[in-house]
Chains A and B, each alone.
Chain A
């Protein structure tokens, strides 16, 4: 296991700089929370890491080496925000998960592996044959998580994975995320606008504003004794906090 390092990552769309020299480190086996308000560039960071958005500057390194952009082996996987659009509506749950496998497997091995993954995310393995249209939002998000885990990644990037879910479902997904992370020793970049959610799952926190990281450090420090003005504003705005 090796750290995922973002070194001075910059992303520009046309003339506007969306991500501005962001440097972050996701320590092995740890969860780094990335918080910030809408439009601050959180999702772009996530997409830049997995190669969905080209970098304008800087590097993304895993264990000191750039990430592979070709071939089936992808050590960094991503889970998306909207559970309703992140699964192909015409592909069964099992097929979607199997797409993530890093190596070719025999049909039998595939089936057992899919069943194992579904079981891991607490879904009935019999669900492998259903289409996503039959699943609830929370169940879809579990499938998306299983697909990400199928490639046996070292790092999982989770972009606002609970913001489209009901609170009761959010709790179940958050529990699952923590369980996965602990049991599999995954490293994780957990992006959310919800400070309480990030506090619950992340060991470290980075706060982003207008494309820049304004503060980062261990969760209990950043979220209790914030040093940056913006972090303080965010914390004060959390409902129930010092109002």
Chain B
């Protein structure tokens, strides 16, 4: 036996560097393009509104002079390209304009609302991943090859129903059961940790239902893979076979398919926040949409969009860590 003790722990896998750098560059590039598309869409949104957005926001009774003044202060009387460039410039410096209705700076409103939304989304993300992966694996192992028919049926039924119930309705049901009837948790608002329980469950439940179903299918597929036969041929312990050989591949496949779903959690907060009167951006967004306060809508939509893109980038990085193949080539 030669004595070349070149375990990966001794020397970090530097040769991977090239591939990782390329992956980072490509992924960042994609993120930037998406952000640009998002920003452009948000900019165009205000101009795509039929009629005069300022008139719409201030109402039919507002004096013409006020509307004109407002238009000028928003820069809407300047050439489109100029507006676009100053809009992009504003984005970079964090200046998103100010509300037509309240005059408060949009960035200020976002700063107050964002923490609420973000904590909700992050908590739901973590819960969704933390529950659906073990759940999917467990059910897959239990129901492999048509065993435990009843468990499979119950699981499939529950997950379809749970996946179909919209999160806001689930929120209402949860409030009724656990806040009104049992009084275990507060009905609404953001206070102590217990106030998080219901909104986070309402938001994550649908994702858990769908993700765990995907996870189960992927796990079953992985268990039939040739390399699992190789693992069994090595006579490893069953636990090791499942955890070390099956799990990473099944999680990879699940994230590839279900990654978009996790981004959807960000948008889902809008509805859930409305159910729980949660102090976040969701309520503000709906109010500003109803009040046609376009600069505010624009800013908040941008924030949601960027959050979604960040979640997806995070998922891709997770995938790259789990499955080295995904760092090369790109779909």
Q: Are any A and B Cβ atoms less than 8 Å apart in their complex?
A: no
